[in-house]
Structure 1
Amino acid sequence: MSQPTEPAPSPDGAALHGPVARLLRPLVRLLVQRGITFPALTNLLRELYVNVAEYDFALPGKEQTDSRVSLLTGIHRKEVRRLRGAGAPVSQVPATVSRTSRIIARWVAAPEFTDGQGRPLPLPRSADDAAPSFESLVAGVTKDVRPRAVLDEWLDRGLVVLDPEGRVRLLEAAYLPKGGAEPQLYYFGRNLHDHIAAAAENVTAPSPRFFERAVHYDGLSDGLAGRLEARAREIAMGALKEANAEAHAACAEDAGGRHRWNFGIYIYREEVPARDSGAGPESDAAEGSAP
């Protein structure tokens, strides 16, 4: 049986080549650094192509066939048959990531655990009355792990410290998973997935559905770029804390369901080779619309 002819790129598909190459470049750099070779990536992409075609491009009321998956992906039917049936991808949140993020989210959002400026309070390990404590903080999120075990883990990871009065203080490091550790790699995949998913939806939809905008200036000095980065961090952290506080309060009255929501912010700067530098500063907001 002959290899199926790979579908020719549509005009829209051809227009994506340049943006996709730019998008993938930092990812390829990371893969090379981590020893993931091109053949290994090819195997992963082959599996993903088949999985996406099988589950995301199924026709309503019709069973997806090997032939149609082969036509959509350009992958031989024999390979399609071998790779199909793995099941729709499910994103599993590591238990420690889920537990830690939920406890921290409560600590920085719940009024009983924050001061008048919305900053997380230092907490005694326990309290005899209804006063806020680290024990009550953890117990309000999970009963599966003892608060002392969480405290020991967080002290070891540098997320909290004990002050001279023996109270537990949340450190800024709690917001920043260690490089290459499981929590960081989980959010690496989740955050980039959601950003790309939002951008892809905006490209394919008749009008942009998701809010996706940026402010960017070129031709800056190193000093100004550094100051803008520092200021952007302050603005971004304030926005994240405000969004978290509102979401935390709203969840207390929500009946629950199958939806999820993500509000993310990124900041980036780099030194551009002289030949690529712009003639001067410019500002532009990427196309998008409020959700």
Structure 2
Amino acid sequence: MTHMLYRAARKILKPLVRILHRKGMAFGEFSQLAKQVYVEASEELLKADGERPTTSRIAIATGLTRKEVAQLRQVADEDDLAPTGSYNRGVRVMTGWLQDAEFLNAEGKPAVLPILGERGSFSALVSRYSGDMPYRAMLREMDRVGAVVVDGEFVRLLGDGYIPHADENEKLGILGTDVSALIATIDHNMRVEDRRQLYFQRKVSYDNLPVEALPVLKEMVGKDGMDLLVRFNQWLATQDRDGNPQVGGSGRMRAGVGIYYFEEPVSEQVGKGKPDED
């Protein structure tokens, strides 16, 4: 159990540390951050179990000294990297551009849109999918993150997903939200005992593929994955109270579905290819 946990933690940390290393975060900074997170997580878990999260109790649970815990508890919590309003609105606008017939060309692809106009324009698109955000502000934001190209009085969509190619902070924000969401799903599935409460978590992979097969797979994932996400988005958009204030119900939840593609070279020592599902 402990050995497997170490191996899992190592595999999670290695790609993360590569990013931190490229961005210049030294080990001392990471170590301090890890201590902070240990203290925060311990406090949350103790509260959830009905215990009082005292400094002494947290020190015992984390292995840190009481002095370290006391100092770390004084540090203000950071935001949870929830997607920004502009990011959420940008996703909605791009999804509308990808699926709403009014903004598609004869081939069913996102049309090059005039910036202004009552119908079939970028301003009409923003009005429909971004609430009260001015179209010029959305245009500047989407241009800033590399999601569109502006050519005179027309605007063209780049790609089929709101991935901020030009904005490093937005990319790091996605790293924080998407990876934590996946780990939280796995954590939930490890803890629940009733199978009916499991979150959907599936993956398919083979480990003896020729390099030449990858372009075909990437194309399939890009098309079929996007089609599936568009279907989910169409339903989620009807339930979201930001765009549909009339939707009733209680509480405020964040939920969604993520699809990702991965590839990596495999050591020659690995056995013959076989499906790997979880």
Bin for the TM-score computed over the shorter chain: 0.7 to 0.9
**How far apart in 1 are the matches of 2:264 and 2:211?**
9
**How far apart in 1 are the matches of 2:3 and 2:268?**
29
| Residues 224 and 76 of structure 1: CA distance in aligned 2, closer, same or farther (over 3 Å) | same
Partner of 1:194: 181
Partner of 2:247: 254
Structure 2 counterpart of 1:224, which letter?
A: A
Q: Show CA shifts across 1:200-244 (max 9, x none).
A: 111222255111111111112111233223322222122112211
Query: What number of residue pairs does the alignment pair up?
Result: 269
1:174 to partner: Cα distance: 5.3
Is the aligned partner of 1:83 residue 2:72?
yes
| Residues 117 and 262 of structure 1: CA distance in aligned 2, closer, same or farther (over 3 Å) | farther
Partner of 1:204: 191
Residues 110, 249 of structure 1: 8 Å contact kept: no
**How far apart in 2 are the matches of 1:161 and 1:46?**
43
Higher relative contact order (CA 8 A, sep 6+): 1
Residues 145, 167 of structure 2: 8 Å contact kept: no
1:270 to partner: Cα distance: 1.2
Q: For 1:237, which of 223, 226, 230 is the aligned residue?
A: 226
| Residues 77 and 158 of structure 1: CA distance in aligned 2, closer, same or farther (over 3 Å) | closer
Structure 2 counterpart of 1:71, which letter?
A: I
Structure 2 residue matching 1:172: 3-state secondary structure? coil
Q: For 1:267, which of 261, 264, 278 is the aligned residue?
A: 261
Structure 1 unmatched runs, 5+: 1-11, 287-291
Equivalence map 1:70-109=2 (5 Å):
70-85=59-74, 86-87=76-77, 90-109=80-99
**How far apart in 2 are the matches of 1:14 and 1:281?**
25
1:169 to partner: Cα distance: 2.8
Q: CA RMSD in A?
A: 2.9
Under a length normalisation based on structure 1, what TM-score does the superposition of the two structures give? 0.79
Is the aligned partner of 1:284 residue 2:271?
no
Q: Show CA shifts across 1:168-223 (max 9, x none).
A: 33221653322661221111110000001101111222255111111111112111
Structure 2 unmatched runs, 5+: none
Q: Show CA shifts across 1:57-96 (max 9, x none).
A: 2156653211111121111111111111535854343444
Q: For 2:138, which of 150, 175, 179 is the aligned residue?
A: 150
| Residues 117 and 254 of structure 1: CA distance in aligned 2, closer, same or farther (over 3 Å) | farther
